[in-house]
Structure 1
Amino acid sequence: MTTRTAPAPAIEVHGLQKSYQKLHVLKGVDFEVARGSIFALLGSNGAGKTTVVKILSTLLRQDDGTARVGGFDVRTQAEKVRESISLTGQFAAVDEILTGRENLVLVARLRHLENPGAVADDLLRRFSLTEAGGRKVGTYSGGMRRRLDIAMSLVGSPQIIFLDEPTTGLDPQARIEVWQTVRELAASGTTVLLTTQYLDEAEQLAHRIAILHGGRIIVNDTLEELKRMLPPATVEYVEKQPTLEEVFLALVGDTESHDDAEPAHTSEER
C-alpha cells in the first residue's frame, strides 16, 4: 500500500526580516502558499506587503530568514525563481503607444518564445481582448489595461504570479473584471499571491488570508475560520436586500462586452 505525500507549497516563508536603516519593516514573517491557490496578504499602508513581494520576486534581499518560491531559494537560486514567476505591480506596466497585441508580442520576444504572434493571440482570447487587440492601449479603459497587464505577466506560463494591489485606482466595474481574471488564473492551476488593502477583495477571492501587522503575520487562516474568531451574530429576521454589486451589474450589464462594444447605429445613420 502506497501513501501519497502532499505536494510542496508553492511559496514557503520562514522568519523573514527586513529593515531600512532604523525602520524594522519585517520582524519575522512566516507563511506558506499552497499550489494553485489564491493567498491574500492584507495590511495597512506601510505594513510591508510590497516589501514581502519584492523579496519573493528577487527584487530585494532579506536581512534574515528564508524564502522558497517554486521550490527555489530566493537568495541562492534567484534565476530559477524568476523563471517560475511573474509580477504585476500596483500600476499597469503597458506601453500606451503600442497596440494590445504588440505589447504581448514584445514580451513574448523578450522571453525568447517561439511564435510570439500566436502567444499574443491566445492571451487576447483568454482575457476577452481580441476585438481590442489592434487598438492602441492609450484608448483602453482602466479595466482593459489591467487585464492586458496581467495577460503580459502570463507570457511564458509562469507557475506563480504576484499581484501587488492590482485594483488600486480602478472603478467598480474594472475591479470586478480583474477579480474574474484572478479566479480564472487559480482555476487553471496558477498560484496567486495577492496583496491588497481592500477587505472585500480578499473576501471575494482568497482561499486563505494572512494579516501583516507590526512586522509579523498576526493571523493566517481561511475566511470561515477567521469569522469564527468573533462571537456569533444574533439571529434576526431581516428582509434580504440586493447587494450593491448586484444592483451595479444589473444596471451596467455584462462587464466583458461593454469595453469593446461599438456605438449602436441609429436609424438616421443607416
Structure 2
Amino acid sequence: MRALITNDDGVRSAGIALLARVALDAGLDVVVAAPHEERSGASASLTGMGVDDHLGIELTEIEGLPDVTVYAVQASPALIAFVATRGAFGDVPDLVLSGINHGPNTGAAVLHSGTVGAALTALTHGIPAMALSSLATRPSHWETAEHVAHLAVTWMVTHLTVDAVVNVNIPDVPLADFAGIVPASLARYGAVQAEIGDRGEDFVTVRFDAIRAEDDDSDASLLARNWATVTALRPPSEVDCVDLSTMCE
C-alpha cells in the first residue's frame, strides 16, 4: 500500500519526519511530497509558486530515512495532494497522511488549516486521508506523538475510509500523563481567535489570541486535558435544509 506524506510546515519539519517513520513501520510504501517552505494557514488553496504553471519540484532527503523518496514542492499542501492523485510523484497513493502539524487543528478553525486542507483535497479525489497535529507549536514529547500516530495510522490502514477525513490531535505531554484517545466533536473555535488590531489609513493588523478551552467534550477541551482526539470531517457538500425555491419565484 502506497502512502503520500505531506504537511503545511514544510518538508524539513520534525513532524513530517516522524510521520514518515511511523508509516514505514506500518508497512507502507512511503513517498514524501511537502512544501519547500512553511505554508501554514493555506487551507485547501491550489496555489503554486512556479513560473508558467510549472511547479518547482526538488529531490531532497529526510535524515534517518535514506530509502524514502522525498520531494520539496513549491506549492500549497492541497495542490500537492491534488497533483499526487494524478500521479505527479509516481503511482497514485492509496492513502494520504498529512502532518504531524506543529500546532493543533481543532474546532471550526480546521477550515483554515493547510494540513487538514491537503487531507480534504485528497479525499475529495477519492483517496482516503488522515490529518495529524500536535498541541504544541514546538513539540517536545515526540514519544507521545509517535505512540498516537502509530495507533492512528494502523487503524487507518485497516479501515481506509472514504466517507470522511480522520482528524487527529495529540497532546504534547509525557506518555505517563497521556490520558488516551477519544472521539470528539469540533469546538466552536480553534486554539486561537483572529482579531483586528491596529487600523491605519492604508492598513490593518491582525493578531491571534489564544482561546481558553471550555470544559466540554469538544476536541479543544479534551486535548487540553491530555487526551488525543479523533474527529471525522466531511468535505464540502450540499445541504437540503435550506429552502431555496423562493429565490426562483
TM-score after normalising by structure 2:
0.32
More strand by share: 2
More contact order relative to length (CA 8 Å, sep ≥ 6):
1
TM-score after normalising by structure 1:
0.30
Larger Rg: 1
